[in-house]
């Protein structure tokens, strides 16, 4: 509970000024993320995983339902589906699949903007809730600073992937948790229902949201609220999943078991839970990547334990909530150390601002003589430093990605200029503007679609585009033309020349028969170019002329 004298020095600021201050961070986030997105071509560096969710949303809009259950990303798919259906409602296309493929990149960009708006709304609504609970705009802004805690989280908040909506849901959920923990009255049953709905949406967005269930401890002051949250969360997740993504229930948990029982990524490798050869080094890298965040959670553990020892009250809602936050961070730390990728730490990282708010409250309860201004200045400085570092790192990453994407686009033009009659084949990670749909195909229809669905999408592509889409698939080792299997032998018979771009050197295993045609080979800006019936030097010369 809040101490009698205020924890934050701006408690007596007028409501109008407080509202204006609470607007600052969300508007800064919206402007920064839209500018960042403008430098991240949807066909470029981040085609994985964005294309998978754009394609899955198009598949759902075409009436087939979701084909992805592995994260599961249900809310992300639903967002894309709504964009496609809404746009098609106004455009009135004859075939929604051809329409979606024709506007594929624009749909991804619209989904990015939609995610940015949703997260901005979560920051604004969450800031208002925290501001009212603490009577402080400073506390609200500390809470909102979680959106800028690390460059990886900032990046994945923009990407069309489950992490973005998961961050928005987690931030809004944290605001409700802070309200419940600081309220002088026991939480209401209605608040428990709200918490349950938030958890259901978060868990349907990504399985990594599961540890957030620990925040239900903030509702223990009212058993009915706790039960309402538990029942609503369970029924809400199952119901939402069965309606929009049944594979989450029927296949998704089996996929999780596969991951949990094997040491490699995505359920690969030898049986076992953890590969200790990499586990501890991964954990060290995670802590090193965000030491200030780790320090905040250590401080949260210390503050919670200190209050429990001092008051001998082990059911205090603030202490329980801080303890839950520490356990959530630990769960993500272990899971991410097992299956390493920094953005898997997204939930506890974006909640850092909310945890700081509770730490300030707890320290003021433990040490009432400490001036509120000193604590607010310390916490605010920490958030300002993290935010500044994040924006600086994000800008550097955006510039680097923009340069890499420009090279890919330039090479794509050079290939067409050097061999306008050639078969133009590209693979993953060469940043070819024309190739991004193939990753979405591989992660949805190729894995879980039936033949009728595949034929429909292939025919739709052929009707929407004059030039065939040729993909050298590094995952399945299959050459595709308009999403259908093909071969280099047939391409050699149909075209006077072939140009292939690959991110890696081709060998007998991954060349899919290309090497049998004795291609010429050169490397242009790190991208391997193979040519048949045309000198590779001609492509290089065309690339240099594109300057």
Q: Can you tell me the distance from the alpha carbon of 139 to that of 130, in angstroms, rounded to the nearest whole number?
A: 7
What is the model's pLDDT at position 4?
46
Identify whether 72 is part of a domain. no
Task: Tell whether 420 and 539 lie within a shared domain.
Answer: yes
Identify whether 382 is part of a domain. no
Domain end marker among 368, 389, 424: 368
Give the helix ranges, DSSP H, for 92-186: 96-102, 104-134, 137-144, 151-158, 162-182
Q: Which of 164, 153, 152, 158 is nearest to 37 (CA)?
A: 158
pTM of structure: 0.94
Q: Can you tell me the distance from the alpha carbon of 450 to that of 432, in angstroms, rounded to the nearest whole number?
A: 27
Paired with 262 in beta bridges are: 271
Phi/psi at 307 (5° precision): -65, -40
Owning domain of residue 424? 407-546
Identify whether 52 is part of a domain. no
**For 478, which DSSP code?**
-
Q: What is the mean pLDDT of each run of 10 residues along the chain (547 residues)?
A: 60 70 94 93 90 97 94 96 97 96 97 97 97 91 95 94 97 97 94 98 96 96 96 97 95 89 83 89 95 96 94 90 98 92 94 96 90 85 91 93 93 96 94 93 94 97 95 90 96 96 94 96 96 97 89
Q: Which of 353, 354, 348 is nearest to 333 (CA)?
A: 348
Identify whether 324 is part of a domain. yes
Domain end marker among 351, 368, 385: 368
Extended strands (E) in 46-90 = none
Report CA-CA distances (Å) from 292 to 352, 396, 455: 10, 21, 52
Q: Can you tell me the distance from the alpha carbon of 264 to that of 496, in angstroms, rounded to the nearest whole number?
A: 44
Do the beta carbons of residue 175 and residue 141 sit within 8 Å?
no
Residues contacting residue 110 through CB under 8 Å, at least 6 positions apart? 83, 87
Task: Tell whether 286 and 352 lie within a shared domain.
Answer: yes
Cis ω for the linkage preceding 115 (within 30 of 0): no
3-state class (DSSP) for residue 327:
helix
Task: Tell whether 238 and 315 lie within a shared domain.
Answer: no
Paired with 486 in beta bridges are: 479
Q: Can you tell me the distance from the alpha carbon of 126 to that of 174, in angstroms, rounded to the nearest whole number?
A: 8
What is the model's pLDDT at position 66?
95
Task: Tell whether 417 and 503 lie within a shared domain.
Answer: yes
Task: Tell whether 413 and 523 lie within a shared domain.
Answer: yes
Task: Tell whether 289 and 193 lie within a shared domain.
Answer: no
Question: CA 339, 289, 123, 211 torsion: positive or negative?
Answer: positive
Task: Tell whether 256 and 279 lie within a shared domain.
Answer: no
Q: Can you tell me the distance from the alpha carbon of 424 to that of 436, in angstroms, rounded to the nearest whole number?
A: 14
Identify whether 15 is part of a domain. no
User: Residue 332: left (phi > 0), alpha (psi -120 to 50), or beta?
Assistant: alpha
Task: Tell whether 222 and 344 lie within a shared domain.
Answer: no
Q: Which of 387, 389, 394 is nearest to 147 (CA)?
A: 387
Task: Tell whether 239 and 300 lie within a shared domain.
Answer: no
What is the model's pLDDT at position 210?
96
Report CA-CA distances (Å) from 87 to 90, 92, 103, 363, 436: 5, 8, 10, 51, 21
Task: Tell whether 525 and 460 lie within a shared domain.
Answer: yes
Identify whether 81 is part of a domain. no
Domain end marker among 227, 261, 295: 261
Identify whether 504 is part of a domain. yes
**For 524, which DSSP code?**
E
Structure token pair of residue 389: 């570092």
Q: Can you tell me the distance from the alpha carbon of 387 to that of 393, in angstroms, rounded to the nearest whole number?
A: 10
Question: How far does CA 338 lie from the centroid of its chain?
Answer: 19
Number of domains observed in the structure of the chain: 3
Task: Tell whether 257 and 299 lie within a shared domain.
Answer: no
Task: Tell whether 337 and 234 lie within a shared domain.
Answer: no
Cβ-based neighbour number of residue 24 at 10 Å: 14
Residues contacting residue 360 through CB under 8 Å, at least 6 positions apart? 7, 8, 139, 142, 375, 376, 379
Give the DSSP H or E segment for 485.
Answer: strand 484-486
Identify whether 359 is part of a domain. yes
């Amino acid at each position: 509970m809040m101490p009698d004298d205020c924890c934050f020095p701006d408690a007596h600021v007028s409501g109008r000024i407080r509202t204006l201050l609470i607007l600052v961070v969300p508007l800064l986030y919206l402007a920064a993320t839209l500018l960042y997105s403008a430098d991240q071509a949807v066909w470029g560096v981040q085609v994985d995983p964005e294309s998978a969710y754009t394609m899955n949303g198009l598949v759902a809009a075409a009436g087939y339902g979701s084909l992805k259950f592995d994260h599961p990303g249900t809310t992300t798919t639903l967002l894309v589906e709504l964009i496609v259906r809404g746009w098609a409602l106004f455009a009135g296309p004859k075939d929604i699949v051809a329409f979606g493929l024709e506007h594929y990149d624009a749909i991804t960009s619209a989904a990015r903007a939609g995610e940015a708006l949703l997260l901005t709304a979560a920051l604004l609504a969450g800031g208002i809730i925290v501001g009212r609970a603490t009577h402080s705009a400073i506390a609200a802004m500390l809470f909102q600073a979680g959106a800028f805690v690390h460059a990886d989280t900032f990046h994945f908040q923009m990407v069309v992937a489950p992490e973005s909506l998961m961050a928005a849901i987690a931030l809004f959920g944290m605001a409700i948790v802070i309200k419940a923990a600081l309220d002088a009255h026991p939480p209401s049953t209605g608040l428990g229902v709200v918490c349950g709905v938030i958890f259901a949406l978060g868990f349907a967005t990504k399985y990594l949201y599961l540890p957030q269930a620990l925040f239900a401890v903030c509702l223990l002051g009212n058993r009915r609220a706790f039960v309402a949250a538990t029942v609503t969360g369970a029924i809400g997740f199952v119901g939402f999943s069965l309606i929009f993504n049944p594979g989450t229930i029927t296949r998704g948990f089996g996929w999780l078991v596969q991951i949990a029982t094997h040491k490699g990524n995505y359920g690969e490798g030898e049986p076992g839970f953890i590969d200790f050869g990499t586990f501890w080094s991964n954990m060290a890298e995670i802590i090193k990547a965000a030491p200030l965040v780790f320090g905040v959670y250590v401080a949260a553990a210390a503050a919670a334990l200190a209050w429990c020892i001092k008051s001998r009250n082990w059911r205090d809602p603030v202490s329980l909530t801080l303890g839950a936050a520490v356990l959530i961070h630990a769960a993500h730390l272990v899971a991410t150390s097992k299956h390493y990728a920094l953005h898997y730490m997204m939930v506890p990282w974006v909640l850092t601002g909310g945890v700081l708010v509770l730490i300030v409250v707890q320290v003021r309860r433990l040490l009432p003589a400490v001036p509120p201004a000193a604590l607010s200045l310390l916490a605010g400085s920490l958030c300002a430093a993290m935010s500044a570092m994040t924006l600086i790192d994000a800008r550097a990453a955006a510039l680097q990605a923009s340069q890499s994407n420009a090279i890919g686009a330039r090479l794509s033009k050079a290939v067409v200029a050097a061999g306008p009659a050639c078969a133009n084949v590209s693979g993953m990670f060469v940043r070819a503007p024309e190739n991004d749909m193939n990753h979405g195909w591989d992660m949805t229809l190729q894995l879980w679609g039936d033949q009728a669905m595949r034929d429909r999408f292939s025919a739709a592509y052929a009707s929407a585009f004059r030039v065939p889409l040729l993909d050298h698939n590094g995952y399945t080792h299959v050459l595709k033309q308009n999403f259908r299997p093909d071969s280099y032998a047939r391409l050699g018979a149909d075209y006077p020349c072939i140009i292939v771009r690959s991110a890696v050197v081709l060998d007998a295993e991954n060349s899919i028969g290309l090497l049998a045609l004795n291609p010429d080979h050169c490397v242009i800006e790190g991208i391997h170019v193979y040519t048949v019936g045309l000198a590779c030097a001609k492509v290089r010369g065309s690339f240099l002329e594109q300057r």
